Structures are given as structure tokens and as C-alpha cells.
Amino acid sequence: MKAYPSIGKAIWLAFCIRPSLALNVPYQDGLTMGQGYNTFLGQGLLHDAVMITSASKRSEEPVDMNSTGIFDFMEPGPVMPGVSLDDYFTATTSEELAKIIAEAANDSSDKEKRDGGSKMISDKQMTMEGCPAEIHSHIEFVSDYTSYLKALGVNAASTISGYGQSASVSGGYLDESAFSSNSLTYIASISINKQRRVADEKFSFNTQYYQGNEKPFATTFGNRFIRGFDMGGKLMARIMLTFDESSNKEEIKAAAEASFGFWGVSGTLSTDVKNNLEKLSKQAKVTVKIFYQGDIGRELQSRSEPSDKQNSAQQIFETAKSWSEKFLEMACGQDFRYEVLLDRYTNIGDCPRNESIPHYTSAGATAYLVLAEMVKNTELRKTLQRQEVLSPEDNRQVQQDEIRLIGAQKNWIRETAENPDDAEKTVLELFKLSDAYYKKWTPRLAKESSQVDIKAFNHLQSLRDPDTKAVTTYDCSQWYEWYGEGGWTWSRVRFCLPTQTEVFKLTVFRERSQYLWGSAWYWEKDAYPSYVTVGVDLKRIDSKPGSWKFSSGETTRTSFNVGGQQEKLQPGRYKVQANFYQMGPYWDETPLGKVADFDITLSRSG
């Protein structure tokens, strides 16, 4: 398997010279050179805001093909299986908002760039023979919804403005609930950029449209202007690994990231990659969904999605790889407008120096929270409709409620574009509206089972519960045979957990203990009983860490429960330490104290 060779340094520098502080955003139909642009809205404003002159005639330059840059909107679906609906449908809090804004303010990068808070796994610059283009391949791990959207290059404000009507990325990419499930998400992308630049272009501010203090500068001109266009396109693959609570997340992550050498290379998969993919197939469900920007991707629409095969990780990855190879084969021969190159007004002459050009650091970060809330609003409606719990009248009502929310969210975008400094204050009203929507409609959701399934020892037995006497299915440990101090007493005990429960309960079963007298062993009896105490330390080691302690108190019973009423158990992995302490029988001065350690895994029932 051989990667495309990296381009030579001299060629690269000559080819990719760009104006300082330039910013690339997705192309949309109707944008023109010199047009004003609002980076928060992701929209073009006044045409000819900047005048462009050059000794070279643009008509002599290669003609680029138009692209709409717009795709059909696909609304989010219902919440993914395995996600707790009670925990998921909650509105953003003021504390969460403050944290996001603080992170945005402390970001050392250009605040208007949408790089995302993700971890880069692979980053390659490549070239193809006979193709004068910048080719970029990278893979990043995204741990939350905002980072995921940023990795796709999605502008939150423009997505909100076009919600229900259009999108800047193909396909159904908005689903948010996946980030509340047991999953890992990666974005693999390949982009190709063919630049059209005229070397001696000069830019000057078009003063004939400037109205001074009569109208806010940003309303007419925006905060940047369009300097040029890049041709090409971008292909993106969302790789999602879904697993259950018993799986080792770090092992899955390591196997996946060791397999990603397939992306952006030619040839067949290497043996190492195949071995890692085989390991991955045994631990997680692998799904890959393809998205694209630019018109090049439309040529691939007739091809089947990688995950349609519903086969092994290797087959799914090979199909995704074939998409990327086909994309590269086609991309160089086409000149679709793909990205817009923006520049600052302060970089050109004649721009009024007394104008305050807005900066959208906090507003941009807040918009991603609004979009996430918007998506959850839709996911709630879709989940209710999937569960078929609504009457026709209720179905109409929930849609009307959502439409009103969407209207308020779009209006917030318009107002924030003009007054970005008010974003943090005004958005709180939106969160209150979402909270009211959740409180109104979540009670209509089908009730979730609060029970969890427990796996511990893979040794199932039907036994009677010591308290209720009901026949219960338990997962039981081995029998432990323990001797007391000096070997004068002996006890045989095992620990069992009900395979389905809401709260933690450890059931102890023991045989009658024995004591040594002379050369013979005797059973415990009423005259010489065993006094047993079992203490339990329970620790949740992933998801939301926590710890609890329980005690049986002293008892002479041969079967009893340890546990009690506490918060309902949540799915995840737990460590259990059972501390067994016994006095007697007969010999009170030779106690028996032993410890049993084991792990248990809890998953949501049903």
C-alpha cells in the first residue's frame, strides 16, 4: 500500500501563497468577487463592496464551473437506541453556556476559524501526477457534537438560518444523540483545492456605497470580503464505532486508529490494517456514512453507502476507500467552485478606519449550542412519532410547537448578527423555550425500563431470593472455601447478583460452617452459631464515576442480601469488593476474614 508522494517544498510554497489572515468558507450560489460577507451568518452581502483591478484580464483565466453549494435538507432522526431519554432531553444551562464562551475566548487560534476541539489522528498533504491541485487528507477524533460539526466545516448560524430548507453539506449529518451513546466517532476527509489567482490583483474599498453613520457598517458590508474562489470539492466519511458497556473503550480506540492507514492511500489494505479491522469487528459495530461539499461529490451519488453491506469492518472500510479513490480520480478534471477565500477589510486601502467591525467569537460559540438544541427539539418530535404515542391532534401540536421554536431560533440569529455582544444574554430565553418544550412533551415518551442487566461470572442459576422467596435468576461466583485463623473453622460461600435489577443487591449463599474439635469437624448449630458480616464496596469505573458502601450487619442466616435503596444503577462497568467476616462457630477467638474482588457490567434492559 503506497501513499501519494508529498509535494516538493518549493512547488508547495509557490503554489499555495495566500493573503495573510485569509479564511476559507464553503461556496454558495450567487457569491461574487469583491462581495461583502458575514462570517457569522455564512452569507454574502453587498456586491462590489471591494473593487478589484488587475493588468491581466480575467477572461483570459480558466473558466470555473458554477456550483450551487447547496444540498437538500435532511432532518435529524429519532434518538439512537441505548440513549437514556430522561437524561438526554434537557436544555442547555447557563453554566454550560459560560463554559463554552470561556473556552472560545481562550482559544489561541483565529476565533472565526471553525477548526473544532478535536484530536488529529492523521494529517497528510499529497499530490497526484498531472494534477495542479492542493490535496489534503486527514482523520480526526471528535468527542462531542460541536467538535463533530466543526470537523465537517459546518457553520452553525447558517445551518440554523437554513434549517428545514437547505444545507451546505450533503446527507443526514445532524443527528446528535450518537454522542450520548457508547460510541466513538471519527471524521476522515479528502479535499482538493485548485486555486485561481491573478498575481497583480489590487483591492480597494468601494466608497460610493459607504454611508458613514447612517447605517451600521456590518449590516451592509459584513466583517470580511470575498477575495477569490477555490475550485474542487471535499469528501468526508463519518466513522462510528458502537459498542456495549462491557467493551474496553481504549482497546477499541487503539484498534480503530491503527486501521486508519487505509485513508488517502492507493492499493490494497495491508496485513496489519486487516488484522486490526478483524479485531475491531469482534468488539464494535462499525458504520460509515459519506458526506461531501462541492458538486464533485454529486457524481458519486449512485454508489452504495459503505455501511449498506452490513458486513465486517474490513468490507465497510474497503467500500469507503473506493469512494475516496474515485473522488480523487474525478476531482482533478473538474473545476467546480468549492470554497470562498475571505480577507479582512483592514488589509485593503480606502477602508474607513473609524468603523468598528464586529467580531463573533462568543456569538459563534453560542450558535453551536443553539443548533444542538434545535436538533434535540427535532429528535424529540421524531422519537415521539416513532413510538406512536401521539394522537393525530398531539402530532400536529408538537410540530407547531417545534415550528415556533425554530422561528425563535432563526430570529435570534438575525438579531445576533447585528448585535453579537448581546448573544450570551439573549440566548438564555431560547434555552427557556426549549426547556418548556421538553417539559411539555417528554412525559409523553414511552416509559423507559429502569432495570439493568448484570453480567458477572457467566454462571446462571435459579435460586430463591432470601427475603421475598421469589425464584430469581442469579449470576453466581464460584464457591469459596475459607479457613479461619489457625484453621479451627471452615466456611463455604458464594456471591450472586440478580441478572436484572434496578438497585444494587449482592446475595450471599453459604453452607453451614464447621469447627474443629479434637480430630473431628462439627457443623454449626444453635448452641454454636456462626456470626457473619459482609461489607461491600461498589465502584463505578467509567461513565459517571461513583462509589457506595453497604453492610449486611451481623447475621446467623445462611442466605441474605447486602444492598439497599440507593440511586438507580446506571449502565457501565463496576468493581465489587465483598469483605466476608465470620466469628465462630464455637471458636470465638479465631475469626475468619476474607475478601472477594470481581467486576460486573451493567447494560440497559430491553
Residue with cell string 421538553: 438
pLDDT attached to residue 113: 43
Verify cis geometry, omega within 30 degrees of 0, for the bond prior to 352: no
How many whole angstroms separate alpha carbon 164 and alpha carbon 320?
28
Please say whether the beta carbons of 562 and 536 come within 8 A: yes
Range with the largest mean pLDDT of 46-55, 66-75, 383-392: 383-392
C-alpha angle with apex 232: 230 to 234, nearest 5 degrees? Answer: 115
pLDDT exceeding 70 applies to what percent of the chain? 84
Residues 6+ away with beta carbon under 8 Å from 565: 503
- Residue 438, phi-psi category: left (phi > 0), alpha (psi -120 to 50), beta (remainder): alpha
Closest CA to 146 of 108, 107, 190: 107
pLDDT attached to residue 149: 87
Please say whether the beta carbons of 423 and 366 come within 8 A: yes
Please spell the DSSP secondary structure of 55-116, one letter per residue. Answer: SS-GGGSPPPBP----EE-----SPPTT--HHHHS-PPPHHHHHHHHHHHHH--S-TT----
Question: In this structure, what are the phi and psi dihedrals at residue 117, rounded to the nearest 5 degrees?
Answer: -95, 60
> Residue 592: which pLDDT band, with cuts at 50, 70 and 90?
very high
Cα–Cα distance list, 50 to 60, 201, 306, 308, 399 (Å): 22, 12, 45, 48, 44
C-alpha angle with apex 550: 547 to 554, nearest 5 degrees? Answer: 160
Closest CA to 509 of 478, 553, 550: 478
How many whole angstroms separate alpha carbon 86 and alpha carbon 439?
11
Q: Is the pLDDT of residue 302 over 60?
A: no
How many whole angstroms separate alpha carbon 1 and alpha carbon 358?
49
> Residue 358: which pLDDT band, with cuts at 50, 70 and 90?
confident
The structural domains of the chain, with segments of one domain joined by +, span 19-105+114-444, 452-604
pLDDT attached to residue 343: 92
Range with the largest mean pLDDT of 193-202, 246-255, 401-410: 401-410
Inter-residue long-range contacts of 473-479, CB under 8 Å, 24+ positions, other chains counted: 473/498, 473/499, 473/500, 474/498, 474/499, 474/507, 475/499, 476/509, 477/596, 477/598
Residues 6+ away with beta carbon under 8 Å from 503: 563, 564, 565, 566, 567, 568, 569
Q: Of 63-77, 371-385, 411-425, 516-530, where does mean pLDDT reach its minimum?
A: 63-77
Q: What is the average pLDDT across 403-432?
A: 93
Please say whether the beta carbons of 576 and 600 come within 8 A: yes
Question: In this structure, what are the phi and psi dihedrals at residue 33, rounded to the nearest 5 degrees?
Answer: -60, 135
Closest CA to 31 of 69, 71, 73: 69
Please give the residue that has the higher pLDDT: either 122 or 367: 367
Please spell the DSSP secondary structure of 427-471, one letter per residue. Answer: HHHHHHHHHHHHHHHGGGSPPPP--EEEESSS-EEEEE-TTT--E
Cα–Cα distance list, 560 to 514, 515, 554 (Å): 19, 22, 11
Q: What is the average pLDDT across 316-326?
A: 82
pLDDT attached to residue 434: 96
pLDDT attached to residue 371: 94
Please say whether the beta carbons of 347 and 225 come within 8 A: no
pLDDT attached to residue 474: 97
> Residue 301: which pLDDT band, with cuts at 50, 70 and 90?
low
How many whole angstroms separate alpha carbon 491 and alpha carbon 498?
23
Please give the residue that has the higher pLDDT: either 115 or 13: 115
Note the residue count of the chain.
Answer: 606
Residue 425 neighbours by CB distance under 10 Å: 9
pLDDT digits (tens, 9 = 90+) for 449-501: 778 889 999 999 999 999 999 999 999 999 999 999 899 999 999 999 999 99
How many whole angstroms separate alpha carbon 217 and alpha carbon 211?
8
- Residue 310, phi-psi category: left (phi > 0), alpha (psi -120 to 50), beta (remainder): left
| H or E element at residue 236 | strand 224-242
How many whole angstroms separate alpha carbon 142 and alpha carbon 107?
17
How many whole angstroms separate alpha carbon 39 and alpha carbon 303?
34
Q: Is the pLDDT of residue 348 over 80?
A: yes
pLDDT digits (tens, 9 = 90+) for 333-343: 767 787 889 99
pLDDT digits (tens, 9 = 90+) for 168-215: 565 567 888 878 777 889 999 888 887 665 566 888 999 888 887 778
> Residue 430: which pLDDT band, with cuts at 50, 70 and 90?
very high
pLDDT attached to residue 568: 77
Residues 6+ away with beta carbon under 8 Å from 285: 241, 242, 243
pLDDT digits (tens, 9 = 90+) for 524-573: 999 999 999 999 999 988 656 788 999 999 999 999 999 876 667 888 88
Q: What is the average pLDDT across 36-49?
A: 92
Interior/surface letters 474-496, b for 16+ CB within 10 angstroms, e for the rest: bbbbeeeebebeeebbbbebbbb
C-alpha angle with apex 287: 254 to 127, nearest 5 degrees? Answer: 70
pLDDT exceeding 90 applies to what percent of the chain? 38
| H or E element at residue 235 | strand 224-242
Closest CA to 230 of 345, 331, 120, 124: 331
Interior/surface letters 227-244, b for 16+ CB within 10 angstroms, e for the rest: bbbbbbbbbbbbbbbbbb
Cα–Cα distance list, 201 to 11, 55, 230, 556 (Å): 21, 8, 16, 93
pLDDT attached to residue 278: 84
Exposure of 374 by Cβ count < 10 A (0-12 exposed, 13-18 middle, 19+ buried)? Answer: buried
How many whole angstroms separate alpha carbon 227 and alpha carbon 195?
12
Which cell numbers in the block locate residue 492?
463455604
Please say whether the beta carbons of 139 and 187 come within 8 A: yes
pLDDT digits (tens, 9 = 90+) for 75-127: 888 888 778 888 889 998 888 888 888 877 776 444 444 444 467 888 888 77
Which cell numbers in the block locate residue 548?
457506595
Output the average pLDDT for the chain. Answer: 83
Strand ranges (E), 102-223 = 119-128, 131-142, 166-167, 183-195, 202-205
Cα–Cα distance list, 320 to 59, 264, 327, 328 (Å): 39, 11, 11, 13
Residue with cell string 473506493: 322
Cα–Cα distance list, 91 to 177, 373, 406, 412 (Å): 14, 7, 15, 17
Which cell numbers in the block locate residue 15?
503554489
